[in-house]
Structure 1
Amino acid sequence: MSPRKAAALRNGDGASLREHLIATAERMLSNGGTAALTVRAIAKEAGVADGVLYNHFADKEELIASALRAHVRTVEAGLGALPEPGTGTVERNLRAQLAYGMAMHAAILPAFAGLIDRPSVLSRFAERQDQDGEPPWKERLLGYLRAERDLGRLAAHADLDAAAAMIIGVCHENVLSTVFPSAPETPAPKGKDVVDGVVAVVLDGIRGER
């Protein structure tokens, strides 16, 4: 093992050099966004020569996509477990799902915002999501709704794709409103107000009495 590699892995946790590079890039991404993620900066932070990155990744985009996926997993791990179908009430569980989604999107927005003009990284990130064992939150939300429908706690005819789209969409809107704030005279609802309103609409709809 070279002195540089030995220095990079001196934490002694048994991580491979590839994992060390991903963890380093994830830490830099989390602390300073994507602007500072140059090959030279990542290599310096990781304690390796610049060319070492290309021994483990096809290019910088693959490393950043891997770091981005690791960042999302870290954020999700800190949010705790989602409710299981059939436990508690559907209303309480939907509140938990929506609160989870809003917190997750708020935490990862800075990283994704810096990649809007780098579609190749986002494409690599999507590929990594498909390869991971843990499905993204959208699929887990749909799985939860389907399980509740199978248990008879949601209507058999319920359009679950539409319900999931509403829940996920309000997470996107709520986070984007921090980037493009509403005018002062029409403030966007936040936090508990959003959760209460969306859950009520998902469960009860908006049609008046016939």
Structure 2
Amino acid sequence: MPTGVAIRDPRQQLFDAAERILLRAGPNALTSRAVTAEAGVAKGVLHRHFTDFDDFLVELVRTRIRGLEALGAALNESAGTGTVTDNLTTALTDLFDPVATSVVGLVIARDELRQRLRTAGSRGIPLMTEAAAVLAAYLSAERDLGRIAPDADTSVLAPTLLGAAHLLFADRESGAPDRETVRGSVTAVVAGVMRS
């Protein structure tokens, strides 16, 4: 890129480039050189906006975590409507879009990234932990409405649903599972707590 040419939103341009690399080649291909080359900017652009490459990755993941707010709001709004199984199936399918699935792989693969995210307030496996909280809030709302059993432990159900779904979506080679496969997994997990 020629010097002196303004970049509209360099941070977003770098994030978009990183997501394209994750989708195309996976977490192991994500380097500062690969990101800047994909974004079509000089390597110094990344270092002008982020302390180092791990700082960039932390912000990439935190952007995804902030995106969970919209998913959580939509899911909570669906409480009491449709079926619990369908609402959860939709939420898990939306949650595990190809980029999010790749970001989870990135967090799992990079110890330094995981540590920095934990220092910034995330726990467990960052992004997954926050997603489990979103699911638990929805399940609690459905429990309060009487659509699932009053003794249902939402703090156990939520990560169980999340883990089961992650296993379905994590295989980059086979592609995303179809809706009925996800629904079957959700049905199996919540069968014991559903109210008729």
Q: Answer yes or no: same fold by TM over 0.5.
A: yes
How far residue 75 of structure 1 moved from its aligned partner, in angstroms, is 9.6
- Inter-partner Cα distance in structure 2 for 1:44 and 1:163: 42
Shift of 1:61: 1.2
* Letter aligned with residue 54 of structure 2: E
Report Cα offsets for 1:98-147 as digits up to 9, x if no partner.
Answer: 442255336333443355442112334456685xxxx9321121112222
Stretches of structure 2 that go unaligned for 5 or more consecutive residues are 123-128, 175-179
* Greater alpha carbon shift after TM alignment, 38-47 vs 80-89: 80-89
Counterpart of 1:33 (choices 16, 26, 31) is 26
Supply the distance in 2 between the matched residues of 1:149 and 1:47 (Cα, whole angstroms). 50
Secondary structure (helix, strand or coil) at the match of 1:6 reads: coil
Task: In structure 1, give the amino acid aligned to 2:22.
Answer: L
Query: Is residue 2:18 matched to residue 1:6?
Result: no
Of 34-43 and 52-61, more deviation after overlay is shown by 34-43
Alignment partners' CA distance in 1, 2:36 and 2:184: 45
Maintained 8 Å contact 2:22/2:30: yes
TM-score by length of 1: 0.64
2:194 alignment counterpart: 203
* Number of aligned residues: 181
Contact 1:8–1:46 (8 Å) recurs in 2: no
Aligned to 1:138: 132
1:49 matched to which residue of 2?
42
SS in 1 for 2:5: helix
Instruction: Measure the CA separation in 2 of the matches of 1:53 and 1:94.
Output: 43
Give the corresponding residue for 1:161.
Answer: 155
Task: Name whichever structure is richer in helix by fraction.
Answer: 2
Look up the match of 1:185. none
Partner residue of 1:12? Answer: none
Further displaced range: 63-72 or 52-61 = 63-72
Quote the offset at 1:5 in angstroms. Answer: 5.9
Q: 3-state SS of the aligned residue for 2:186?
A: helix
CA shift for structure 1 position 85: 5.6
Counterpart mapping for 1:76-155 below 5 A: 81-82=74-75, 84=77, 86-88=79-81, 92-102=83-93, 104-105=95-96, 107=98, 108-114=100-106, 116-125=108-117, 130=122, 136-155=130-149
TM-score, with length taken from structure 2: 0.67
Q: Within the alignment, does 1:67 sit opposite 2:60 as a pair?
A: yes
SS in 1 for 2:74: coil
Deviation of 1:66 (Å): 2.4
* Structure label with greater radius of gyration: 1
Aligned partner of 2:51 in structure 1 is: 58
Q: Sequence identity of aligned pairs in percent?
A: 31
Task: Specify every segment of 5 or more residues in structure 1 that has no aligned partner in the other structure, as ranges.
Answer: 10-14, 182-188, 205-210
